[in-house]
Chain A
Amino acid sequence: METAVLTFFNGISYGMLLFLIASGMSIVMGLMGIVNLAHGALYMVGGYVGWTIAVQYDLNFGLAVFLGGCAGGLTGLILERGFLRRLYKQPNEQVLLTFGCIYILSNLCMWIWGPRRRLQFTGEFLSGLIHIGGIPFPMTRVFIIITGILVAIGLWWMQDRTRLGAMVRGGMDDKEMTMGLGINLERVSMLVFFLAAFIAGIGGVVGAQLLGVYNWLSTDILLLALVVVIVGGMGSVQGALLGGIVIGLIDTAFKTLLPQFSMFTIYLAMIIILMIRPSGLLGRRV
C-alpha cells in the first residue's frame, strides 16, 4: 500500500515538474505558432541563476526562484526580440534557429558555471519529510506540486479570463482583424513569450530540487517537454497540465512496477494517445 501511495505521489510531483517545463512551450507553440526548441535552455538558465543565488550566495530560496524566473524570461525576451520575431509563421527556420540556440546557451552556461554538475538544492524550510498516515513525503516534492498548481491556475486565468488572453487568442485566430481593432499584437506576443520563458526559469529552480542543474539539461528536458506538449495538446494550459500528470504517472508507475520496460513506456503512451486523439488529450481537433 505504501509503495502504491508513494508511486502515485512521486508520479504527481514528477508530472507537475513536467508541466512546469512544458506549459510555456505549449503556450508559445499553440498560441503564437512558434516552435521554440530552446525552451529547455531557458529552464537551464533559470536553474543556474537560482543555484548562484541559493547556493553560491546562500540567499533565500524564494528569491532564487524569482530571479531564476527573471533570468529565463530575459533570455527568452532576447531570443524573441533578437531573432524569432523575424521568423513568425516560418516553422522550419524557427526549428533550426532555436536548436542552434540550445548549443549556444549550453556552452555559455558551461563557460560561466563550468562543466561540473550542480547538485540538488532547496530552501531550509523545504528540507525534511512530512508524514501523512505514517508515509513519508519529501517537502521538496510537496513544494513542486504546490508550485505546479499555482502556475496552472495563474495561466488558466490569464488565458481564459483576462483581456491579454483574449487578445492572444484573437491574434492567433485572425491577426489582421485583431490589429485592425488597434491592438499592438507585437507587444502582446513579446509579453506572452516573456511569460513562457519566465515560467521555464521558475521551473529550472523548482526542478533543481530534484534534478540539479547541468549544461546538457536543455536537451534532456526538451524531449520530455515535447512529449508532454504533444500528449496534452498544443496551446492549452489544461492540456499541458493533463499531459504532464499522465506522463509523470505512467513513467513513475512503470519504473516502480516494471522497470525493465521503463525506457520506452512514455513513448508507447504517446503513440497510443495520438492514435486515439491525434491532436492530443485537450488539443484542438485536427
Chain B
Amino acid sequence: MKHKKLLALVSGICLISLVGVSFIAGCAPGPPVEEEPIKIGAILCLTGVVAELGPKFRAGIELALEEANYEVAGRPVELIVEDSATDVTTAVEKFKKLVDLDKVHVVIGPLMGDSHLAMAPYAAEKKILVTSLINGMYEAVQYETYLIYPTTCMAQTYPFGEYCHDVLGYDTMITIGANYAGKIAYANGAAKGFEDAGGTVVQQLWPDVGTPDYSPFIAAFGEADVVLYAMEGPGPVSRFIYQYREAGKTMPLVTITQDGDYTPEALAELGDIALGILGESSYPWQLDTAINRAFVAAIKAKTGVVPSCSEQNAYTMAKVVLAGLEATGGDDSFDKLWPAILALEIDTPQGPLSFTPEGVAITDMYVTQAEKVDGEYRLSAPIDVVHAIRDWRLPE
C-alpha cells in the first residue's frame, strides 16, 4: 500500500516536471523564424515568335524589384519567372504551375491576349491577380482579377483611328493585322475609331501568326488613303515593312503599338525604310519628365539600350504590385491586394496612372514616328497626346 502511494507521488512529480519543462522550453526565445517571402510569378515570352521581348519584360520587373531591394512591407520578395514560349497551351501550363506548386497569388504576364483569355477562368477560380504586359483583352475584364495595362487593346487604338481621320485627313483605310485575339482587337479598335470619325475601312486582312511571306496579302491590297498594319511583334513588323517597300507600294503606312515594335535594335536594322511611319504608342521613351528620365537612365545602365514600352510596362506593373503590397502591409491575398491596387493613384515613367473599378488602367496615349537623328534611328518624342483614355465600353 505504501509502495503504491510512493509510486503515485513519484509519477505525479515526474508528470508535473515534464509539463513544466515543456512549458518553460516553449516560452524560451528560440532562433528567429524567417519571414515567408512574397512570391511574384512572371510568365514571359523568352522563346517563340516574340522571344526578343521576353528579356525586356524581365529587365523591367527586375529593375522595380531591385529598387525595392526585393523587399516590401518588411517581407522579402521572390520573383519566379516562367517561359510561355509565346504559346497559349504552354502559358496556361506555366500559370497552373505557378499557382498550384509555387503558391503565388500575383502573376505578371504573359504577353498574348489569347493566353489571358485561356487563363482567365482559372485565375478567377483561384483568385489570382494577373496583370497584362502590353494592353489586354476586354473579355478578360469581366473576371475582375485582371489588371489591364495600359488599357484594353481596342481602347488603346480607338483614339488613333480618330486621329488618322481628323488630324491626318485620311478618308479610306486598309487594315492588315495578325490573326490572333490581341492584334485583331488592336486593328478593330483603330478601325472603329476611324469609322466613328467619318472614315471608311475598305479592306481588312488577317495573315496568320508567323506568316513568312506577306507579299500575297500586299498584292491583294486595293486602293485606300492609308494602310494600317498590326503585326505580332518587331520581327513580323519589320518583315512586313520590308516586303511592302520591296513591292513598290506607295500608300502611306500607319501603325499601332509602335513603341513595342520599333525597338532600337529593330529600327537600326530597318534603317530608312521605316522613317516617317506614324503610329500609336503607349510609351515614347523620350517623354520629358523627371521620373521617366531616371527610368530611362536606369534601364540603359541595366540593358545598354533605351527602353521600349516592354520594359516600361513590366516595370510599372511590378511597381503597382509592390505599391499594393505596401498598402496591405505585405498581405498578398487577393481580397486585400485587389482593392488596394484599384485605389492607387501613382506617377509612372509613362505618365499618371489610376484604375477603373474593373481593373482597367487609365493612362495617356501618344502619337509617335520613326526618325533619324545624328545618324541614329529612334522613336520620336510624342507628336500628339490623348490624355486619360479609358475603354468606352465600361460603365461610367
Residues of chain A at the chain B interface (Cβ within 8 Å): 3, 6-7, 10-11, 14, 55, 110, 114-120, 129, 136, 138, 140, 210-212, 214-216, 220, 251-257, 259-260, 262-263
- Asked if residues B51 and A216 are in contact (CB atoms below 8 Å), the reply is yes
Also in contact, A119 and B247, with CB within 8 A (given A210-B212, A257-B220, A259-B207):
no
Partner of B205, one of A116, A140, A214, A259: A259
Also in contact, A256 and B217, with CB within 8 A (given A115-B54, A119-B238, A136-B247):
yes
**Segment at the A interface, from B74-82, B162-170, B263-271, B283-291:** B263-271
Partner of A140, one of B219, B220, B246: B246
- Docked CA distance A114–B56 (Å): 13
- Asked if residues B215 and A10 are in contact (CB atoms below 8 Å), the reply is yes
Identify which of residues 203-236 in chain B touch chain A, using a CB-to-CB cut-off of 8 Å. Answer: 205-208, 210, 212-213, 215-217, 219-220, 234-235
- Docked CA distance A116–B267 (Å): 13
Partner of B216, one of A7, A116, A212, A260: A7
- Docked CA distance A255–B358 (Å): 40
Residues of chain B at the chain A interface (Cβ within 8 Å): 46-49, 51-52, 54-55, 179, 205-208, 210, 212-213, 215-217, 219-220, 234-235, 238-239, 242-243, 246-248, 265-266, 269-270
- Docked CA distance A119–B219 (Å): 21
Partner of A220, one of B55, B210, B220, B247: B210
Also in contact, A129 and B213, with CB within 8 A (given A116-B265, A119-B235, A215-B51):
no
- Docked CA distance A253–B242 (Å): 21
- Asked if residues A117 and B52 are in contact (CB atoms below 8 Å), the reply is yes
* A/B interface sample: 23 pairs, CB < 8 A: A3-B220, A6-B219, A10-B219, A110-B47, A119-B235, A120-B239, A136-B247, A138-B247, A210-B213, A211-B212, A212-B238, A214-B51, A214-B235, A215-B51, A216-B51, A220-B212, A256-B217, A257-B220, A259-B205, A259-B207, A259-B216, A262-B216, A263-B208
- Docked CA distance A117–B212 (Å): 13
Partner of B248, one of A10, A117, A129, A212: A129
**With a CB–CB cut-off of 8 A, which chain B residues contact A11?**
216
Partner of A3, one of B46, B219, B238: B219
Q: Kindly list the 5 A-B residue pairs having the minimum CB-CB distance in the complex, ordered from nearest.
A: A255-B216, A117-B235, A115-B51, A136-B248, A116-B52
- Docked CA distance A255–B221 (Å): 11
Of A211, A254, A257, A262, the most chain B CB neighbours within 10 A belong to A262
9 A-B pairs besides A120-B242, A259-B220 with CB distance below 8 A are A7-B216, A10-B216, A115-B52, A119-B269, A212-B238, A215-B47, A251-B216, A259-B216, A263-B179
State the Cβ distance, B209 to closest chain A Cβ, in Å: 10
